[in-house]
Amino acid sequence: MAKILDGRVAIVTGSGRGIGRGIAVEFAKEGAKVVVASRSQGSIDGTLKEIADAGGTAIGTVCDVGNHDHIKATVAKAVDTWGGLDILVNNAQAFGTLEQPDPSPVLTGIEDFRDAEWDRTLLTGVTASYRFMKAAFPHLKASGRGRVINFGSNWGQMGNAGSVAYNAGKEAIRGLTRTAAREWGQHGITVNVYNPAIETEALQNHARIHPEESNAALQVLPMRRWGDIYKDGGRVAVFIASDDASFLTGMTFMVDGGMLMYP
């Protein structure tokens, strides 16, 4: 019996851990050949082991999405290894500065926000997504069924106080996505945004630092739980990447258990 993503090649950035790992593992379970891209070789190896244990196929590459050469090399590795590229998932996002990275946004008012953190956040978010999309485009076009999944955030939609760079970058990603959806649809490429409320290490770190805020958010979430990286996060991404979603583009998928029900 054919699997949903049989014969497809996918790059998943930030797939050494968290929702990126969940997506990479579920893609591989459905037959995709996956490039596991992350900044840490150790985290890459962990995801590769999970995929191998599940009977999937994957290779790893160290990729700092803030480095344009790494982006081009990651796309080239996918194409050189497997002859093409069908799916691009832009999940990676750095926090803090290059010299002082943080595991999650440190809430700081605009008037005190560090310019270097603004620059790093946008470089590794919207700019990295843009650069990956440009590098991937000719291969996605050749595929005839290209899929781009960019990551947004409900923080950007709500204008969460204290995270100006993250908010601005994530909403810019939605603008980038809609533009690409309009331009690239003629080539059979869909481009969508994925806004998650998934229990990742970043969310856990934020909960430790801001327990009252995190608990309050959980209490207003209709499902009363954060999403699982595999059965929630990974499976929705499988759907968006599949043929079943070939007529869905320019959309923001709210994978958040009903947290935001904006019309």
Q: What is the mean pLDDT of the chain?
A: 96
Catalytic residue among 166, 194, 230, 262: 166
* Total tally of structural domains belonging to the chain: 1
Give me the pLDDT at residue 68, please: 98
Closest CA to 134 of 122, 148, 152: 148
Residue 86 belongs to a domain: yes
Any idea what the CATH number is for the domain that residue 159 is in? 3.40.50.720
Residue 220 belongs to a domain: yes
Residues 141-170 have pLDDT tens digits of 999 999 999 999 999 999 999 999 999 999
Residues 25-79 have pLDDT tens digits of 999 999 999 999 999 999 999 999 999 999 999 999 999 999 999 999 999 999 9
Strands 95-96 and 101-102, sheet pairing: antiparallel
240-256 burial, b for 16+ CB within 10 Å, e for fewer?
bbbeebeeebbbbbbbb
Residue 45 belongs to a domain: yes
Domain that holds residue 219: 9-252
CA dist 41 and 45 (Å) reads: 6
Residue 151 belongs to a domain: yes
Which residues are within 8 A (CB) of 255 and not within 5 positions of it... i.e. 6 or more apart?
194, 195, 196, 197, 198, 227, 232, 233, 236
Which residues are within 8 A (CB) of 177 and not within 5 positions of it... i.e. 6 or more apart?
148, 150, 152, 191, 192, 193, 250
Q: Provide the sign of the torsion angle of the four alpha carbons 137, 169, 232, 201, taken in this order.
A: positive
Residue 103 belongs to a domain: yes
Catalytic residue check, 194: no
Give me the pLDDT at residue 263, please: 61
Instruction: Let me know how long the chain is.
Output: 263
Residues 214-244 have pLDDT tens digits of 888 888 899 999 999 999 999 999 999 999 9
Examine the pLDDT at 192 and tell me if it is beyond 70.
Answer: yes
Q: Please say whether the beta carbons of 29 and 56 come within 8 A.
A: yes
Structure pTM? 0.95
At 204, the pLDDT band (50, 70, 90 cuts) reads confident
Residue 259 belongs to a domain: no
Residue 63 belongs to a domain: yes
Neighbours of 109 (CB within 10 A): 9
Residue 178 belongs to a domain: yes
